[in-house]
A and B are shown apart, each in its own frame.
Chain A
């Protein structure tokens, strides 16, 4: 282009035209003009970033999905057999009733509350099949918003699953916190927890992780659960249990359901969100169960009818496939035993990984105390790593944690080849 005045005017007019086009385009796209770019999901966003990473050494310790010792997704043997069995039993794709597949919800609440549960015997449990943990939580949140007094807040632990706050907020509930995690010890802040629960207003709703707290891996002991139960009873509170890791935590489904059963036996009103994503490996099938333990059979009927109406407005009726598989497995003696075995294998592998990680960290000469990794329980470990360290790990070492330092205890390498990092970031040892 020439330096002449005419050339300059042409250049200017071209750039103005471009801007005008943008303005005009924007005014025609005015319908969604006010839609801001939403942030990437704190957990699935990590998996997206991991997928885009081209390094061969990359490790995803972000999303809560089980991997075998080769880093591959693991389809349980009992699930394969259960799927074959369900294809023999069920021959169509017809709509389920709104509350879902009845044999599935029946066996589901038996798994959670125990085969000898008083509440089940007295038919006091309202249960609906829902879309995995998230769907059950959302259903419960909508139920609370509709039937508890206006402005009832829900109390959750100060460290909790990233999606909890968003689910309850989107249902229109106010969020409050109680102390849970003690950063100094990286274990439970029992004193703070009990004190905060003691100060709850009457008839509050309290969210508790039934087992394998996500993301800290810090669970109360049985004695501590009893203390929590006493205070909850005293404050006349309602408890919403999120149980996504039954069987996966200790390897024993009965043990993992201790808190839920303890509270149910104490006649505390309970809502329960059960997920089969992890303990059955049925992640994408979206299998879960939402239940409410009521005071009487009659009340359970009323509650069920209202929860049904809410579910009808969210998804009409739940997906068949996953529920049929779970029902086929749990209602078959052999397959059920196989499942209990396999879930214990998964839980044991987690414990092995915890031990191995700590051993390797110590071997690498790290001066810090990593014992909290073995004291914590479940799929996740709250390492104590800070956001800048997490970023360094992702950028320089292609290891993906969530921003809060929570990491998943499966690596893509065999147990010996763990990457160990000194917290100060000074020494990196590849073993």
Chain B
């Protein structure tokens, strides 16, 4: 429309009629003239789309990103320092996502009124479709480490080491093996490691961080010549598992921090893991690709389309080997089932179902079905003002597919059997130790809150971690634990200070070794502790860069609680409470441990002679 006409339409008198615009003047293509070429494809199309980094995407939407995304663990030690945190801000609100209303905002009949309404129809399909978009490939700042092409073969070749019989914890000499992560002291918030997990064979080690990324390390095959060290763990895959979201109904951000990662046992060449943030669980498939098709008729090697008229011969495309590429793709998104923050996921021994636990409810999912889940535990009171207890952790029994336990903030563990009823609000067993009256203080309840519960591999015992101790329970005895180990008893007199600086709310995790003879947990000042159940001895070690020569044996550390400080002992007052080890993992078959400090991952193994 001419400008003059537009003015008249708006009721204004145009200043002039305007000349002939270029579109009118331009000569159309003469008939019969052949264009020299069709114009080709722009470079971006030819190169294949490269997804920008999340931070750049934020900037494109004219919102400053909350952080630059850190570097992730997939970096060498000599990487450039992590970027500074940017101020937090909201993501773009101009285009709200097409998510259906979460079902918990629908008027429900009451707490635990059976399975939630399934999300049907286009809305459900839309959200699943949306998430099936191929994930952004990792965009590292430096090229990824070159990998040797490998055939996925059976992994039965690692030497089995005699752990249980040889006396356990203190006969093992732990040596430094590797450290992953940036060197600096200025920790980018996105780099803070939030979970560590070995897979069932121990070949893969997954870490999740606060920026929503998952980094998977793979153990190199054992080198026959290097008999005195096991394979190193190197970056296998990095992907962005969760993105920050915004809950419009509550006007609150949903953090992308990965709370838990759980591996599924391997059934074919691909690996599967479940990763969860506060609200959404995702099933990721990690697969290798080492061949690619070549020799298309209509496509050039670089992706450009060929003119069909120029094709003179036909050929059959063939697969040719290529550099190994590891792809991670989300296969299932389990969303919108939790009102509160998810703190645990646990895969059932039937490998078909899994549970997810938040502060007040536990849901049972089927791995294939994403639009519905069953609520099996609900401890939400009718009146929220009466709330005094929350669920802190939950786990399925390793062998019995209908049994699970959940721990609470009051120091109790409840074992439930799903065969008893559909809603397992009534426990089958209640594990609770009577309180020691001599140790009673204002903080007794807070320090009795259980932060982690883990079954032993055998399934006979379970271990719980509260603030000051590790307790091992026999499933057959409910009234007290069979073993109790004090992790850092010297902190008992400092509880008020720890309450002031919120350290008393730290959630430490614990883990078993492969043979259930040693348990390990973390502490402050980058210390971690191991307790040998057979010899009743314990050891304190430190994860620091000071001992970072490979095969350096770690020196046991000791904290002196009071009185005279011996040489080499550390006094309680000089502990650094900002350096805490919350997440540890033990290789399921060998004496290799992964210990996560704030932003670094340390791998230690026992000294092999």
Partners in one complex: no
